[in-house]
């Protein structure tokens, strides 16, 4: 921390506010209906992602490298929704817009970490599909439990390091202009622009973070599917092409849900009203965690079959218990 603070010079006194004010959604008409919708989305996210995690834990057949990545995605979605939505509802629905300085930094860290890990987790799943289709005979050798765990662990280290750097650079800023953040959470971009001292390093990290956690993952995923499409074009029969492509439909759906709204919001930000932009960004934060488990349950045979098996076992155990009690 002293390394960041020394960049200011010895004679500069910090002006650190006791709190920030989150004001992004406060002036939008009929916004309470949106909060009810967010609460519904949050409940579905918690139930869906918990169900996916429980199914993967209980079924030994799903303890494969691919489902390690699926489990991590469900965990990130659950953790990210729980970090964002309850606090968002507390701030706007129950009119508690004041958030202490340290709490705001922690809020920023957890929200950005989970949003970043969602994108990088899609990279891990793209890598799994790429190897499965390009090198099907070598899949068991190239994609192992150890390699997938190492990949996901490296993503966690990368994201945590990057977000901690962003938070550390924020702590060297002096806030003497305003403490009102025009967003739905402690947004990095909104926060450093409130500072009254030099925030050039924050501008740099603000440009590097989207490149690292949004554009590079998207480029890798697109290149992966271009290569997959090129490989499938060489397959002799249409049936084999369709069968191979079906294994990618769930992942492609997740990619579309995560990246398309973000890309639309960023590319059309100049034409969108600030209130609409805030709502769009908040939806891109809460929608993927809700839809991801639904997509995997509906489009993945293994999870559907495992879920049915678990339900059947529970029904049988209940019937057995009833019979024993009757006797």
The secondary structure of the chain, three-state, reads CHHHHHCCCCCCCCCCCCEEEECCCCCCCCHHHHHHHHHHHHHHHHHHHHHHHHHHHHCHHHCCHHHHHHHHHHHHHHHHHHHHHHHHHHHHCCCCCEEEHHHHHHHHHHHHHHHHHHHHHHHHHHHHHHHHHHCHHHHHHHCCHHHHHHHHHHHHHHHHHHHHHHHHHHCCCCCCCCCEECCCCCCHHHHHCCCCCCCHHHHHHHHHHHHHHHHHHHHHHHHHHHHHHHHHHCCCCHHHHHHHHHCCHHHHHHHHHHHHHHHHHHHCCCCCCHHHHHHHHHHHHHHHHHHHHHHHHHHCHHHHHHHHHHHHHHHHHHHHHHHHHHC
Residue 327's pLDDT band (boundaries 50, 70, 90)?
Answer: low
241's tokens:
């092409």
pLDDT digit string (tens) for 57-81? 998 888 899 999 999 999 999 999 9
The single residue listed with the structure tokens 């005979």 is 137
Give CA–CA dist 165/162, Å, rounded.
5
Do 300 and 250 touch, CB atoms closer than 8 A?
yes
Give CA–CA dist 22/301, Å, rounded.
43
Q: Which of 7-16, 133-142, 161-170 has the lowest mean pLDDT?
A: 7-16
> How far are the Cα atoms of 77, 86, 103 from residue 291, in angstroms, in the given order?
10, 18, 29
Residue partners of 194: CB distance under 8 A and separation at least 6: 175, 177, 178, 179, 180, 181
Position 10 scores a pLDDT of: 47
pLDDT digit string (tens) for 257-281? 999 888 887 777 667 777 788 888 8
Give CA–CA dist 276/242, Å, rounded.
39
Q: Does position 3 have pLDDT exceeding 60, yes or no?
A: no
Position 4 scores a pLDDT of: 40
Residue partners of 166: CB distance under 8 A and separation at least 6: 108, 112, 188, 202, 205, 206, 209
| 12-317 CATH, one of 1.20.1070.10, 1.10.357.10, 1.10.10.10, 1.10.3720.10 | 1.20.1070.10
Mean pLDDT within 238-249? 84
Number of Cβ within a 10 Å radius of residue 149: 14
* Residue extents of the structural domains in the chain: 12-317
Q: What is the pTM of this model?
A: 0.88
Q: Does position 98 have pLDDT exceeding 60, yes or no?
A: yes
């Amino acid at each position: 921390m002293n390394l960041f603070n020394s960049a200011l010079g010895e004679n500069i006194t910090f002006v650190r506010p006791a709190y920030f004010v989150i004001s992004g959604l406060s002036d939008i008409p009929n916004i309470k209906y949106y909060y009810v919708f967010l609460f519904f989305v949050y409940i579905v996210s918690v139930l869906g992602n918990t169900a996916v995690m429980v199914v993967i834990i209980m079924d030994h057949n799903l303890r494969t490298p691919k489902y390690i990545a699926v489990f991590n995605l469900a965990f990130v979605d659950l953790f990210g929704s729980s970090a964002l939505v309850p606090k968002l509802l507390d701030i706007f629905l129950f009119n508690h817009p004041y958030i202490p300085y340290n709490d705001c930094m922690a809020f920023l860290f957890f929200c950005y970490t989970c949003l970043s890990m969602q994108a990088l987790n899609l990279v891990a799943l793209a890598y799994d599909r790429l190897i499965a289709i390009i090198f099907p005979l070598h899949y068991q050798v190239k994609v192992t439990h150890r390699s997938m765990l190492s990949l996901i662990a490296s993503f966690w280290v990368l994201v945590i390091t990057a977000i901690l750097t962003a938070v550390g650079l924020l702590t060297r800023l002096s806030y003497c202009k305003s403490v009102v953040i025009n967003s739905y959470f402690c947004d990095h971009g909104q926060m450093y622009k409130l500072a009254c001292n030099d925030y050039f390093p924050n501008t740099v990290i603000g440009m590097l973070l989207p490149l690292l956690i949004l554009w590079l993952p998207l480029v890798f995923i697109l290149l992966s599917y271009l290569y997959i499409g090129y490989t499938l074009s060489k397959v002799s029969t249409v049936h084999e092409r369709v069968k191979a492509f079906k294994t990618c439909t769930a992942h492609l759906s997740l990619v579309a849900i995560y990246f398309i709204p973000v890309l639309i919001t960023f590319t059309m930000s100049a034409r969108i009203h600030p209130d609409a932009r805030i709502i769009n960004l908040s939806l891109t934060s809460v929608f993927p965690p809700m839809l991801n488990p639904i997509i995997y349950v509906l489009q993945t045979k293994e999870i559907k079959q495992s879920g049915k098996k678990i339900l059947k076992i529970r029904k049988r155990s209940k019937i057995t218990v009833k019979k024993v009690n009757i006797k």
